[in-house]
Amino acid sequence: FDGAGFFVTTDFEVARDRLSLSEIRHERIRALELDWRDHAAMNWASRSSPPLRPTLYEKKALPEQLRDQMQEWVDDPDRGVRVEDGTILFNPIFDWQARDFDFWSAGQDLCELTSFYASDPLKQKLEAASKQGCPHDFFEFDWSLNVAKH
């Protein structure tokens, strides 16, 4: 897509290697964690990306931080999951990275998967939808500039 070149073709020195931001994300971070919640922690600096965290991730606290970040993302109707006219709409990241969410969650549907992190009343709607086979769609991704939430 337009503007992606920076993330794919620009490289940086990392531990004696030359890596693009895409390679850092996929080969150095995600490949080591093998945790689909990583998608809630990393973003493309765009409005529909998961919210930026105001603090650094720490190795000892990472499981809790990823859980909190996932909850923050799912509960944000502009960035995560929302219901419009009775239809559950997911961030397209859930579609783009469907293989990760499916594989790492042992095949849970998106409604069941995200209900674990959602607050009521969204949680109840996701649980009910999961029992119906999780009918859903994806909203349009907003590529405008992201801002940090405090």
Greatest Cα pair distance, the chain, in angstroms, is 52
**b/e code 15-42 from CB counts within 10 Å (16+ = b):** eeeeebbebbbeeeebeeeebbbbbbbb
Tens digits of residue pLDDT in 103-135: 878 888 999 999 999 999 999 999 999 999 999
Tens digits of residue pLDDT in 15-65: 888 877 666 666 666 656 667 788 888 777 788 989 888 888 888 998 899
CB 22 within 8 A of CB 8: yes
pTM for the complete prediction?
0.81
